[in-house]
Amino acid sequence: MQREVFHMVNRAGMHARPAALLVKTAAQFQARVTLSLGAKKADARSLLMLMGLGAKEGMDLIVEADGPDEAAALAAIRRLFAKNFGE
């Protein structure tokens, strides 16, 4: 299992668009990916759980990937956050 912390830079936080990108990205890997904000945890396959985290600009999200391709999964998610989900 690998874990990394990412900063939510989007002005609008985790709204539908970045959440959808996360779902699509996580779906490409076998590893189980979860995002946590404080006590709340979301499965990256679920758009509703991701949005339900209520992550806003400036918040830190802990991303965990667990599985054979966990490093690749984390790298892909790192790229998403790095380019601010294309916004």
Where on the chain is the footprint of other proteins (CB under 8 A)?
A: 9, 12, 15-17, 20, 23, 43, 45-49, 51-52, 54, 56, 82-84, 86-87
Least distance to other proteins, CB of residue 46, Å:
4
Least distance to other proteins, CB of residue 9, Å:
7
Annotation marks residue 7 as catalytic:
no
* The two three-digit tokens of residue 62, written as one number: 């802990």
Least distance to other proteins, CB of residue 19, Å:
8
Give whole-number Cα distances, 44 to 5, 63, 67, in Å: 15, 9, 14
Query: Which residue, 38 or 54, has its beta carbon nearer to other proteins?
Result: 54
DSSP 67: S
In a 10 Å sphere around its CB, with 0-12 CB exposed, 13-18 middle and 19+ buried, how is residue 79 labelled?
exposed
Query: Which residues are the active-site residues?
Result: 15
